[in-house]
Amino acid sequence: MTRMIARPPPPAVKSAEKPPRHRFARRVWIRLAHEAQRLLPAWLYFYLIFSLLRLTQTAVLHEFGVSVTPPSRVLAGSLIVAKAIITVDALRVFRRLDSRAVLISAPFKTAIYYLTIFFFQYSETLFEFRLHGLEAASLEFGRRLGTPRFWVIQAWLVVLLFAFSAVRAFARKVGPRRFRRHLLGPHDRRSSRS
C-alpha cells in the first residue's frame, strides 16, 4: 500500500489590499452612479418636454424661414434644468417642505427652481460670450430678455416645473412603490392585494 502523505495546508494568503488609487476610483464611480440615478428622472422629463417645445417651434417657424434651437441646446438645457433641480433639492431647507401639503410645497419649490434655472441661464450666456467680455454677455442676455420668445419659453418652464414639483411631492407623500402602483397598475398578483 502506498502511504498517503498529509500535505500541510497552503499558507494563508492575506487579502491583498487594493491600492488607494482603486479605492478612490471606486468611490468616484459609486458617487457618479448615485448622481446619475438621481438626475435621470428629472433629465428625462425635461428632455422630452423641451424636445416637444422645439418640435412645436420648428413646425411653426419653419414656414417663415426662422431658425430654431438646435438639438444640442435642447440636450444641454435639459441637463442644466435637471442639475439645477438636484442642486436645490440637496439643500436641507427643502426637506422641511416635504411634510407640508402638496399645494403649499409645490409652488414654493417651483419658485426656487425657477430662480436657480434663471441664474443658470444667465451663466450659460456668460459662458457663450466669455471671449467678448462680461459687458457683451450681459447685453446679449438683456437682448434675449426683451424677446417674446424668451418669455413664452419661461412661462412654459414655470408650468412644467410646477407639474414636476407637484407630481414629485405627491410621489414622496405616498411612497415610491405605492405611487408606481397607482401610476402603472399592479405588476403581479401579490402587489395588487397589498
Segments in the chain below pLDDT 70: 1-21, 67-69, 187-194
Of 168, 53, 152, 150, nearest to 110 by C-alpha is: 168
Cell numbers 405616498 label which residue? 174
113-145 residue pLDDT tens: 889 888 888 888 888 888 888 888 888 888 888
Give the pLDDT score at 191. 47
| d(C-alpha 117, C-alpha 175), whole Å | 27
Give the pLDDT score at 188. 55
| d(C-alpha 77, C-alpha 156), whole Å | 14
Answer whether 0.95 is exceeded by the pTM: no
C-alpha distance across the termini of the chain, in Å: 68
Q: Please give the C-alpha separations between residue 36 and each of 39, 43, 57, 79, in angstroms, as whole numbers.
A: 5, 10, 30, 11
Say if CB 97 and CB 105 are below 8 A apart.
Answer: yes
Give the pLDDT score at 192. 47
| DSSP label at residue 42 | H
Give the pLDDT score at 194. 47
| DSSP label at residue 95 | G
Give the pLDDT score at 46. 87
Give the pLDDT score at 162. 92
